[in-house]
Structures are given as structure tokens and as C-alpha cells.
Structure 1
Amino acid sequence: MSTCATASRRLSEPLAGTAAAAPTWLLVEQPGPWGAKALTESHLDPGVGRALEAAAEGTGVRVALIRRPGRHADCHRPAAHRVFAAHTAPGRSWVRTALVDPADLAGLDFAALGAGEHGGLWEPYEGDPLVFVCTNGKRDRCCALLGRPLAAELAASGAVGAWEVTHIGGHRFAPTLFVLPYGYAYGRVTAHGVKDVLEAVRDGRIVTAGCRGRSAWERPGQAAELAVRELTGEEGADALDVPDAEAVGDGRWSVTVTHTDGRAWRVAVAQGATSPPRPESCGRAPVSPARMDVVSVSALR
């Protein structure tokens, strides 16, 4: 049986520049089954889900549901839900957490959270790195077939920060995940590869193998930053920033990447069409997904 993930892997579709653009994440624990539109199709009150969608729109905050790996009893409805808020900008990344009633979340200052200001909200999360594996089979079957076994294996191996998440984009790169506090996403991962990623994060480093990009930036910035990492061998999680990505017309960008030591690079990025066509999600008609191609990297004086 052919799937969107097998087609993408067979055609060696590039991963860089494909992460969801989300400067800030709001991740709400909700056990039990998830529908394709999980915020309004789960055991979370649909009215609460709609309120969260409306409150987050245009703020830079992406809301998703999470649950612990394993069996999900349909009757399990916790009184209080574990919630994480996380900002992913380099040098200003943070994770805050609490047990809350989801009905109270729509009253948060989403504009401030999207701008990276938590205002002392909740408690700082200081545990192991958090890893969120996309497992929503109602959204795409590859996420269930490939994501759920990976999440279960991570949990069984002792990764206490392992969670399942509803949707982070890029089904065809399954299994796909992202890691906090830095917000880098990965695709086509294995349990061994994730362990390497988590070990690096504990040391404040970034593994670039299988990396889709940092969610703090739009896709051209993600591709540009990863290109500079590959060129320089830089591993420091917060060593690089993308202060500017200027559209220069015809699907092209001029991206500035800076280093904390004062170095800087100008990266030319062009949007191309991936060929031959392939389904972006299982059951969909084949298309030519956009790809971010790094044309050149030039050091700035």
C-alpha cells in the first residue's frame, strides 16, 4: 500500500524549510480520540476549541492538543489538563507549564505570548527536553502508522518528555516531531535518531540530520539558517538568528543570518516546485509541493 510518506521518501523530497511557522506554541493535554480538526473534534469542549482558535488567530501562537503515548481510554476526562506555553525565538526561548481548566485558556494574552512575553504566566518548565510526535491518524494515516509506534518506543525507553501531538504539518515526512525548548522540527525520524536529538538539546546543541527547521521563522528563514549550520558546522542552539528575510520577487528571498559572535551571512533562497507530483497527504491528489532551495550563501563583512 503506497502512502504519502513512502512516496516522499522514495523521491528524496528535501526536509529543510518545511517546519510549521509558530513563534509560540500552546499545547493542551487532551486524552482520548482526536478527529481531523482536533480542537473541535475530541473530548475537549468544542466551544473551548473554537474560542482558542479565535483567540490565537493572527497572534503567532499555534494551538495543538497533546496526550501521553499509549492506549487512550475513551472515557478518560481529566479535571485539570497539563498545558505548555513555549516561545521558540533564539536567545529568548522559554517553556511555561501548569495544570489548568482549558476553559480558562482563551482569556490568555495571546498577542503577548506570540511576541515572546509570558508575563510570569504559570511556572517555568525545567525538566527534560519535550518531544512531540505527530500521531493524529484522523488527519493522516501516516501519522498513526509511523508516529504512534515511535512515540510508544520513546516512552518505553524512558523519555519522560515524550508526548503525542495532533498536527504539526508535513504528514508526508512522517514520523515527524518537534522538540522544545528550541522548537526545531524533524522528519523521517527513528527512535535512535530522536535520542541523539534529545541528547544534543540537553547540551544546548542542535542536530541537523533530518531537521525541517526552527518554528520561530517562516520557511525561507528556516532553510537559510540550516544552510549556514551545514556550512559552518555550528551546533549551538541559540548561536544563529534570522533578523531579516526580504522577499525580492518571483518566489525569491534574501535572508540575513547572524551569529552571536558577530558574523553574518546573506542567503539567497528560491521557492521551487517539487517534481514529479506526489500526494501531500494520504488520499489526496498528487501535487508539486513548494520547496525552499538555497541558491547561495555569502559571508558579510
Structure 2
Amino acid sequence: MAGDLARFFCAEAARERGDGLAGTAPYGRVWVLIEHPGGWPPNGFEGIGLEPALSARLFAAARARRARLLLVRRPGRRRDAGPRRWAVLHHDEHGAHRQTWGTWEKDTDLDGVVEALRGPGTTGHPPVVLVCAHGTHDVCCAVRGRPVAAALGARHPDLLWECTHLGGDRFAANLAVLPDGVYYGNLDAPSAVTTLAEHLAGRVGAPHLRGYTDLPPPAQVAVAALLARHGPAARHAYEIVGTRRTDSGWRVHVAGAPPYPRLSEVEVRTHRTAPHRLTCRGATPSAFLAHEAVAVRTLCGPDSR
């Protein structure tokens, strides 16, 4: 299958190889969402033809905050009445989830995004749920993402958006809960419904977790290993308190809130894989760094208080 360009699907190939999910969430604390119904160009935001000076301002403001720019639309490409929406989502250094929302009808209305990127945003908003359905970027994102978006949109119409490229096409269907900063992958409609229901109830589980976007890959793997061992936990139940480089990877120390161990050590092994085709459109094989938890040790037990 990998040699047949007409039939190659990166998500199928990744599952056959057994590519690990944990540790694959791209770094991010700030996201910009711009509603753009209808078809999306392969390069997403860059291809929607905004006035050049405005595009330059948006890119500069986003780059200054290390923000990711994503196009969004409601599932089914329905056309909601009224102006389109935009949002700036922040996961700040204290873990607070902040949002700013606005609307736009003409290009210059998006200057509000530039201003919002300079502000703190406000808390108390419901989470934003994104499912990558960017078929012109990668076929698997459309084939696997759209059924997931439809299933979740039927249950959570006010939370759910389809979006452009989230990263990790081979893990489609990909889901991000923002500004929580939690990525899930390898989803289908039934597993997505269950996974999101657990998340919205305050329980992050390990089976489909790619990672937390405010953590580097070895720390993401460490948290996922603890969730696998001790069961689902709240988004901030675990805190990375130390990392140490080893010959084969990392030793990560993680503090837990009760009833989880107060201090754990996770040994994470890192290696570079053989080259593989990683996306449907990318015919050139590429290697990547894989991270795997090989040992989990409890250094200090649950707080008996």
C-alpha cells in the first residue's frame, strides 16, 4: 500500500506501524480562529485572499505571541446567518483558560484579532472543540475527520468547529479542546463521543491522548503514562516538577494532586525512527523522534490527608 500513491492513506499506515500517540501534541498556548465557511485552500489562512496589509498585521501579531492561525467552520458547511466569528484563545502560564471573541464581515474587522492578541482575554467561557477536517491539506483529515465532526456537532453544536490543519495528519481523526490545550487522536465517531464526554466531565484519559500543548514531548508522554496507570484525571491534576536527560531519553518527575501519587518518576526513552511517509501528500519519507514511557515509579504515595 505504501508504494501505491493512489491508495496510500497516512492514518492507515501509522496504525499499521503502531506509531505512538503520546508526545505528539504540537506546542501552543495561543490560538487564533477565523470563521471561513466553504472550501479551504491547502495552505489554510494564507490562501483566503485577505487584504495584504491586513494579512501582514495578523501574521506579525500572531508571530509575536507564538499563536497558531486556524480557519474554522461549523460541521456540514452550513451557512449561519449573520457575520462570521473570530476568536483568540489563551492558555496562560498559570493554567487559566482565556478567550476573546468578535465578528467580521469585511477584512478590516479582523484588526480586532490584532488587538485581542495584545490583551489578556477573559475566563468563564465554555471550551472550544476543534476537529481537523482539512481535506485539501491531507485526505485522511477529511475522510476520518468529517464523520467525527458530524457526530460531535450533533451533540455539542455550540462547542464544535471543523478546522484547518492541526498537525499529525497520520493520527486522524484529530481533536483539540482549547484553550485547555489538549490534543486527542486516532478517533472515530464512537470513540470521539466518549472521549469528549469524559473531557467535558473533567476527566482526561490516556487511550486517545496525544498530549498537552504546554508541555514538551517527554513530559506529555510522562503524563499520559500516569493517566494510563492511575486512570483519568483532571487537566491540571499532574504538574511537571523536574526533568533530567539520560543516555536514552529523559527521567521526568511529576507531582500529582490527591488521590494520585504526590510524586512519580517516569522514564521516557527517545529514538529516531526509520524514514516513513507521514502524510498522504508527502511522498518523501521522513524520520521522526519517537518517545515511549518504559518505566513508571511512585516516589511518594498519595496524600493520606
Q: TM-score, normalised by structure 2?
A: 0.82
Is the 2:30–2:179 contact (alpha carbons within 8 Å) kept by the matching residues of 1?
A: no
- Residue 12 of structure 2 corresponds to residue 9 of structure 1: no
Q: Which residue, 59, 63, 67 being the options, matches 1:61?
A: 67
- Once residues 64 and 7 of structure 1 are traced to their aligned partners in structure 2, the CA distance between those partners, rounded to angstroms, is 26
Q: CA deviation at 1:268?
A: 2.4
Q: Partner residue of 1:228?
A: 226
Q: Partner residue of 1:268?
A: 267
Moved more, 36-45 or 206-215: 36-45
Is the 2:205–2:231 contact (alpha carbons within 8 Å) kept by the matching residues of 1?
A: no
* Equivalent position SS for 2:58: helix
- Residue 257 of structure 2 corresponds to residue 257 of structure 1: no
* Equivalent position SS for 2:47: coil
Higher alpha-carbon Rg: 2
Q: Partner residue of 1:42?
A: 48
Q: Which residue, 13, 22, 31 being the options, matches 1:25?
A: 31
- Once residues 18 and 130 of structure 1 are traced to their aligned partners in structure 2, the CA distance between those partners, rounded to angstroms, is 20
Percent identical pairs in the alignment equals 31
RMSD across aligned C-alpha pairs, in angstroms? 2.7
- Which amino acid is 1:51 matched to? R
| Larger RCO: 1 or 2 (CA < 8 Å, sep 6+) | 1
Q: Partner residue of 1:197?
A: 195
- Once residues 51 and 69 of structure 1 are traced to their aligned partners in structure 2, the CA distance between those partners, rounded to angstroms, is 29
Q: CA deviation at 1:168?
A: 1.3
Moved more, 263-272 or 204-213: 263-272
Q: TM-score, normalised by structure 1?
A: 0.83
Q: Which residue, 79, 83, 91 being the options, matches 1:87?
A: 91
Extract unaligned runs of 5+ from structure 1.
Answer: none
Q: Partner residue of 2:180?
A: 182
Q: Which residue, 136, 148, 164 being the options, matches 1:166?
A: 164
- Once residues 50 and 230 of structure 1 are traced to their aligned partners in structure 2, the CA distance between those partners, rounded to angstroms, is 44
Q: Partner residue of 2:240?
A: 242
Q: Partner residue of 2:106?
A: none
Partner deviation per Cα, 1:197-230 (whole Å, 9 max, x = no partner): 2222232111221111111212111111111111
Partner deviation per Cα, 1:63-107 (whole Å, 9 max, x = no partner): 32211111267xx99645231413176x72314232243222223
Number of matched residues? 286
Moved more, 255-264 or 207-216: 255-264
Q: Partner residue of 2:214?
A: 216
Q: Which residue, 101, 110, 120 being the options, matches 1:102?
A: 110
Partner deviation per Cα, 1:106-143 (whole Å, 9 max, x = no partner): 23455xx7xxxx2xx3x54534x432001112221211
